[in-house]
Structure 1
Amino acid sequence: MDFTLLIVIIVLALVFDYINGFHDAANSIATIVATKVLTPFQAVLWAALFNFAAYFISKFIIGEFKIGNTIAKSVDEHFITLEVILAGLIAAIIWNLLTWKLGIPSSSSHTLLGGFMGAALANAGALSRDGVDVINYAKVLPTFLFIFCAPLVGMIIAYFLTVIIMWICRKANPSRADRWFKRLQLVSSALFSLGHGGNDAQKVMGIIGAAVICYKLDAGDAIYQAADSKERFGMFVEDPHWWWVPLASFVVIGLGTLSGGWKIVKTMGSKITKVTPLEGVAAETSGAVTLYLTEHLGIPVSTTHTITGSIIGVGIVKRVSAVRWGVTINLLWAWILTIPVSAIIAAIFYFLLKAIM
């Protein structure tokens, strides 16, 4: 039964990964479509290619999967069961599909984290047990903090980068400069897609890793039981039986991106502020820098929040009123509600699963 449940979790995790791809496709292609640098199909193909390429950067250049490790350790292992992970995944999938249907660019990262924590708290029945906290606050608090910090950092970088670019190009021929920035958008979009793949695919790895570790411990695997809790995720990544999980996570998110997410593309590409090729380059580059920084720190941030903040940053350069603040405030509410709503949904599903199983 446990092995069957493990397989169900892995399949659902990859389903979530696919949904994450088309839900967040807009993050890296909205501006490039809005400025008509690429057609929608060309844009998603471009983004999907670099989503997958991020695997090789994480594996062979960075040499580790820090964000996957953070997700796997966001909840104390004493409160993780296969039912907890399954309930968290179901909640995350429901919230992602709902926000996609409504065209709201919410965070796939935070819905996954919220679902995981909500189900674990339901399992514990309280905030702590025997002096052990359910939530690993050292891992989770930076993620909570970056709900606000990631868009702010993206906005600040985008603002100053836009100002610098405009100053450098102040004497340039407008038509010629526009052509150059359209070409540069291919580069900036690719950079952001690399960051998106490296950041988001690892979150699914983290969930699958937590499920495999839980299964191994329940099965009495002596090697996993003897290892320190800090070492187990690394053992999972290096385990020859599970070598395909990182690769599959990056492939599936790329396939999801290839499916697109046109409702969210419209919100990101035109409803927040009108974006020119110059501004698209600044926004995507700023978002990419923020993602690379947080990936280096091992903090799973929202690519959605990051690029939204960057788009706001380039809009403010023109004038504060160029940003449609009504749309932005609605997005902010969705960001704030994502973790608690996902946690509540996951807790409900956890109790349902326990009643059924």
Structure 2
Amino acid sequence: MGVELILWVAIAFGFYMAWSIGANDAANAMGTSVGSKAISFKEAVIIAAIFEFSGAFIAGSSVTDTMRRGIIDPLLFNDPAVVGTTEGSTLFMLGMLAALISAALWLHLAAMLGWPVSTTHSIVGAITGFGVVAVGPSYIQWGTLAKIVSSWAVSPLTGGILAFLVFTVVRKMIFDAPNPVAAVKRWSPVLVFPVFVVLALVIFLKGMPGVDLESYGIGNTEIWMLSALVGVVGSAISAFFVRKIDPPEGDDPQLHVAKVERVFRYLQIATACFVAFAHGSNDVANSIGPLAAIVGTFNEGAITAKVPVPTWVLLLGGAGIVVGLATYGYKVIETIGTKITEITPSRGFAAEFGAASTILMGSQLGLPISTTHTVVGAVIGVGFARGMTALNLGIIWNIVKSWVYTLPVAAGSTIAIYFVMKTAWSAFISPL
């Protein structure tokens, strides 16, 4: 009866965790598109409902690590010399539940304050806190944790530099041209090709953890060829539509800018769809990882390093992300889309392309890149392209502080929740 209680509570908080990810992390992916007015908040929710959910359900990981990022070896809980006399599987399930609750609460609080924080860092901090008190600090992989902390600098800096460079190229090639409309008709198909190649690579190499491409005869060579094909198709479609753009009447520069931004609006919508799919397929594991670990331990009666993820758990995670964005994502969207710097479709396009390129590079190099930190850095990068006065340094400082708070707050709250649940288990439930 007691173990079943853990399972049902975990299911409830698994959905709450997914809701919190939707309210915070999914809002990051949509922030630039809504902030630039390329799409409305309602349209962002529709895109998320289609692409975030599809990514989570179709391409979400079918097998998940029970301990995110290798912070702790879960098999330690099978060793009585490490965990003591209490049954290891029970301690493990209680710890995963404590981590789930803690990370969800922190993401919810951050969303209330409009702070875009990393879901992965929240889970990693929570599991680290649990590991320290359950098996001891000597068993924590501190080197792995240090690599994750390093992404506080690596992710936003790289994303910011790439977004800055992309927007600078766009500005010089198109906006600073004598005839911006003619320039966008000439150069947009050229720009679209690398953008769609990168987005396709992100989907194939990072955004489909639950799909075994090799079983379909698709290796790295085929992935690059397919991505190049996506780039060619995207470029051809762009060329077909932009040639229909009529030049504005008169020489008013603002009329030219409005026509050009309209082209980038559609490009930004396309990138938002790609990013939403990749986000759903990847970050659903953050919401369902601890839940899947609890379900797997409950079903098998033992702890394993990797556990299968039932279809209903993927559905729960995908649905929770969409509901979270729809009901509470507006606060983080407002921070990303309007409070850091002014976002236009062209700047939003540069930010999303810079972020996607950073995520792709990090995936290929094995670097712990945070999607949240990368998107924020990319938005700062396009703002910096217009000078420091274009940036709201107060908001940026608050965001950076929230990143620093994430690991210790998640770890500390997990420790407190774990001790309360362990005490309650020993006093009231275990004797039954």
TM-score (norm 1): 0.83
Structure 2 matches for 1:1-357, cutoff 5 A? 1-55=2-56, 58=59, 71=68, 73-77=70-74, 78-79=76-77, 81-124=92-135, 126-128=136-138, 133=139, 135-137=140-142, 139-169=144-174, 170-171=176-177, 172-173=180-181, 174-215=257-298, 219-220=301-302, 232-233=305-306, 236-237=308-309, 242-294=310-362, 301-357=369-425
Tell which structure's C-alpha radius of gyration is larger.
Answer: 2
**Aligned AA for 2:259?**
R
Percent identical among aligned pairs is 30
Offset at residue 204 of structure 1 (A) = 2.1
8 Å Cα contact 2:64-2:308 kept in structure 1 = no
**How many Å separate the matches in 1 of 2:416 and 2:160?**
37
| Structure 1 residue ranges without an equivalent (≥5) | none
**Aligned AA for 1:179?**
R
Offset at residue 180 of structure 1 (A) = 0.5
**How many Å separate the matches in 1 of 2:62 and 2:352?**
23
Residue-by-residue CA offset, 1:299-324 (whole Å, 9 max, x unaligned): 66543212110100111111133222
**How many Å separate the matches in 1 of 2:105 and 2:272?**
28
Residue-by-residue CA offset, 1:136-158 (whole Å, 9 max, x unaligned): 34654432222321112211111
Q: Secondary structure at the match of 2:111?
A: helix
**How many Å separate the matches in 2 of 1:267 and 1:166?**
25
8 Å Cα contact 1:89-1:112 kept in structure 2 = yes
**Aligned AA for 2:51?**
F
**How many Å separate the matches in 2 of 1:276 and 1:311?**
11
8 Å Cα contact 2:35-2:336 kept in structure 1 = no
| Structure 2 residue ranges without an equivalent (≥5) | 78-90, 182-256, 426-432
Instruction: Give the direction of change, closer, same or farther, for the CA distance of 1:107–1:253 in structure 2 (3 Å limit).
Output: same
**Aligned AA for 1:42?**
E
Residue-by-residue CA offset, 1:205-232 (whole Å, 9 max, x unaligned): 3222332344356x25xxx7xxxx5xx4
**How many Å separate the matches in 2 of 1:291 and 1:14?**
26
8 Å Cα contact 2:98-2:414 kept in structure 1 = yes
**How many Å separate the matches in 2 of 1:247 and 1:153?**
33
- C-alpha RMSD over aligned residues: 2.6
8 Å Cα contact 2:115-2:332 kept in structure 1 = yes
Residue-by-residue CA offset, 1:58-106 (whole Å, 9 max, x unaligned): 35xxxx5688576174322125611111111121122122212222222
Instruction: Give the direction of change, closer, same or farther, for the CA distance of 1:6–1:137 in structure 2 (3 Å limit).
Output: farther
Offset at residue 7 of structure 1 (A) = 3.0
8 Å Cα contact 2:67-2:73 kept in structure 1 = no
**Aligned AA for 1:145?**
S
8 Å Cα contact 2:271-2:349 kept in structure 1 = yes
8 Å Cα contact 1:72-1:207 kept in structure 2 = no
Q: Secondary structure at the match of 1:105?
A: coil
**How many Å separate the matches in 1 of 2:113 and 2:327?**
17
8 Å Cα contact 1:52-1:254 kept in structure 2 = yes
**How many Å separate the matches in 2 of 1:215 and 1:260?**
32
**How many Å separate the matches in 2 of 1:310 and 1:194?**
19
**How many Å separate the matches in 2 of 1:309 and 1:200?**
19
Q: How many aligned positions are there?
A: 332
8 Å Cα contact 2:26-2:329 kept in structure 1 = yes
Q: Secondary structure at the match of 2:349?
A: helix
**How many Å separate the matches in 2 of 1:299 and 1:37?**
31
**How many Å separate the matches in 1 of 2:49 and 2:267?**
18
TM-score (norm 2): 0.70
**How many Å separate the matches in 2 of 1:52 and 1:45?**
10
8 Å Cα contact 1:25-1:260 kept in structure 2 = no
**How many Å separate the matches in 1 of 2:368 and 2:58?**
17
**How many Å separate the matches in 2 of 1:284 and 1:22?**
19
**Aligned AA for 2:153?**
F
Does 95-104 or 70-79 show the bigger shift?
70-79
8 Å Cα contact 1:72-1:210 kept in structure 2 = no
Instruction: Give the direction of change, closer, same or farther, for the CA distance of 1:23–1:342 in structure 2 (3 Å limit).
Output: same
8 Å Cα contact 1:191-1:288 kept in structure 2 = no
